[in-house]
Amino acid sequence: MKLTKTSLNGIQFFYREGYSDIKTFIEVLSNQSYLKKGMEVLNNETWLDCGGNVGAFSLLAASKGASVITYEPDPYNCELIEKNAKLNGFQNAIKVKQAALIHDFRKETTLSIAKDGNVWRNTIMKKKSNKAIKVPCLNFDEQAVLADNCKMDIEGAEIPILTNTKSDFNKLVYEWSFDIDPSLPKIWKVLEKQKLKYRVEAPYKPIHYEERDVNMWGDNWFPPCIMVYCFKRDRT
């Protein structure tokens, strides 16, 4: 498999030609997709990178002085994350765990490998192709105690985790995958729970959060996913 070396915003990385790798690095390093609505990574913070993919967010966080635990079920992606961490001298800042995060206590699950090299769409939630591998699992709440902040982009597995989790963070940014489960009431329920602990920044209008009107939901317009940014409220 051919690897090409390049850099964006001062961060070096290898990517696989013909895969979604370069799109991911552009989205995260150039477009700063996880760092909107006031979300930021600061020096000496600890972060969980749930759904590491090729390590773009982990590299970004490490470049800002944070320590990161990266969870990625695809073993080939894990190899690339470790290779890119070493390339930038971040091997002590980024710890990679080859595992899928789940809300229960299963030890193993099936990872569906997306077609046409679109590894950013690999998922444990539904079959995306005929290619699949068995991967180890870790319980999210047991891992949540290891860091103060969390980025989550796990292709639909965020839905059961965020619905059931008892953990909270100083900062939480996640992608909600409507293409896995186009249920507005599910995200409304999660947002209601999160608003008790967080200041939540999300595109409420596109998901009709304020109207609570599922009849406004149209099959021809909704985005495949949205980003949600949560900031822990000051309890003093």
CATH code (residue 170)? 3.40.50.150
| CA angle, 209 then 212 then 213, to 5° | 120
pTM for the structure as a whole: 0.92
Residues 6+ apart with CB under 8 A from 221: none
* CA-closest candidate to residue 52, choices 6, 9, 90: 90
Q: What share of the chain is helix, strand, coil (3-state, %, to 5)?
A: 25, 30, 45
Residue-number span of the structural domain to which 13 is assigned: 3-232
Tens-place pLDDT, residues 8-49: 999 999 999 988 999 999 999 999 999 999 999 999 999 999
So what's the pLDDT on residue 77? Answer: 94
Tens-place pLDDT, residues 106-130: 999 998 887 777 777 787 887 656 6
Residues 6+ apart with CB under 8 A from 183: none
* Domain count within the chain: 1
